[in-house]
Amino acid sequence: MKIAYLPASFVLLFWATTGHGIDVFCGSNERTALCETQSQTADWSGIIDNQTHSSVQFHTMDAAIQHYRRLAQNGRWETLTGRFLLREGKRHAQVEQIRERLRALGDYSYDHPLSNKQYFDSRLSSAVGAFQRRHGLKVDGIVGPNTRKALNISPRKRWQQLLVNRQREQVDQVAQQRDYIEINIPDYQLRYYRDDQLIVEMRVIVGRKERPTPVMNSTLKALEFNPDWNVPRRIAFEDILPTLQEREKFDRLGVKLVKGWHHQPNVVAVEELDMSHFYRGALSEQYRFWQPPGNTNPLGQLKFIFPNDFSIYMHGTPGKHLFDEPRRTFSSGCIRIEDPRLLAQLILEKSEAQPLSYLDTQLETEAASISDLPGDVEIFTRYRTAWVDRDSGVLQFRTDIYRRDPNELAQLSAAQPSTDEDDTLTN
């Protein structure tokens, strides 16, 4: 998590793609010259020698798109094969190939004579780390399967990825308030801006592929302290109900079977479960799962409420260890945040709805309660797999975790008229 007080003009969180890449289908009506067969052997020297800045830094998405288009026209990547590890101090024939690829991409900017081009030195390790950082990978300076997979994504596929994300940037709704929260789903990051300045950045956990976190925009309306958990129907049927076959496993969850939807839940024995009324029928007769507030409650101590059509909210979690994972798709759609207390403190501080001591008082009571907010903090969830950082200008890519890029690229391609121009999709 990072706390920052940095100028940040309108920042849209964007996100990046993956090892699979995207392909435009080329038929008899080719939409771009990039569909034409290129030689396998690439000559990058002209592009590299003519660069006046690091090719990971750009002022706009348009500049990044043009740069990757030039790389794509110059030749295809030769595949880096193998699943072995390469790290500082190692010697291997692939090291020279990795160095030149990172040089073409702008992550390796050193221009010095090398006594052994197959030696993995400290400068190459730093360049690998820079590449990993801007691709959302584990930053260790080691070339392993995941880093090699990202290095193998061709400039043409990256170019297509940039086109898709420029389109997203153009159509996404922008903040109307100067205070807003943005969550980039594939980046697993939340950023809170106050007066258009970045105040805090923290890690998040989002929905897994089969239960994705939706793209939406809303306004924070309330904070719930020590929330209980009314288990949604899908989670009840798919995740919890099967554990009744192993009673000890069910008991460890801390979930209770209740009947009806009363203010004070009516807890009943599991043996009383009537499946004909399990999440169906009159509300007063329904059986459902519920979990009281407490240390094991999956919502943690704080829940951030904002109206939306998906029953999605932000909340804490007792599973803090999951924030250390590089790929954080573990939820059923809701957004788990790394430091809910800090975010709540900043929002209460800004709104002046309650004194700061109110937060600690409510959490210490361990009783469930809700505090309304003025509604002046917007919240956006975005799906960006590529973007240019507005502060540093560094080009970022992320994995297309929900595999949305190919469909949107196909739609973008279909919307373009047939032409002989080789840059149809870049206009």
Structure tokens at 360: 């600690």
Considering 20, 26, 59, 334, which one is annotated as catalytic? Answer: 334
* 315 included as an active-site residue: yes
Beta-carbon-side half-sphere exposure of residue 241 (alpha carbons within 13 Å): 14
Structure tokens at 67: 């740069």
Nearest alpha carbon to residue 177 among 224, 204, 215, 217? 217
Could you tell me which residues come within 8 angstroms of residue 125 by beta carbon, excluding any fewer than 6 positions away? 87, 88, 141, 142
CB 190 within 8 A of CB 201: yes
Nearest alpha carbon to residue 231 among 243, 247, 215, 248? 243
- DSSP one-letter string for 132-185: HHTTT---SS-B-HHHHHHHTS-HHHHHHHHHHHHHHHHHSPPPSSS-EEEEET
Query: What is the C-alpha separation between 383 and 405, in angstroms, rounded?
Result: 10
Q: Which residues pair with 370 in a beta bridge?
A: 224
Neighbours of 164 (CB within 10 A): 25
Amino acid at 272: E
Query: What is the C-alpha separation between 322 and 328, in angstroms, rounded?
Result: 7
Amino acid at 24: V
Structure tokens at 381: 């969830």
Neighbours of 189 (CB within 10 A): 21
Tokens 């004579």 locate to 113
Could you tell me which residues come within 8 angstroms of residue 59 by beta carbon, excluding any fewer than 6 positions away? 388, 393
* 334 included as an active-site residue: yes
- DSSP one-letter string for 314-330: EE--S-GGGGGSSS-EE
Considering 20, 262, 263, 315, which one is annotated as catalytic? Answer: 315
Query: What is the C-alpha separation between 93 and 105, in angstroms, rounded?
Result: 20
CA distances from 380 to 183, 202, 263, 347 (A): 6, 15, 31, 16
Q: Characterise 286 by phi-psi region: left (phi > 0), alpha (psi -120 to 50), beta (else).
A: beta
Catalytically active residues are: 315, 334
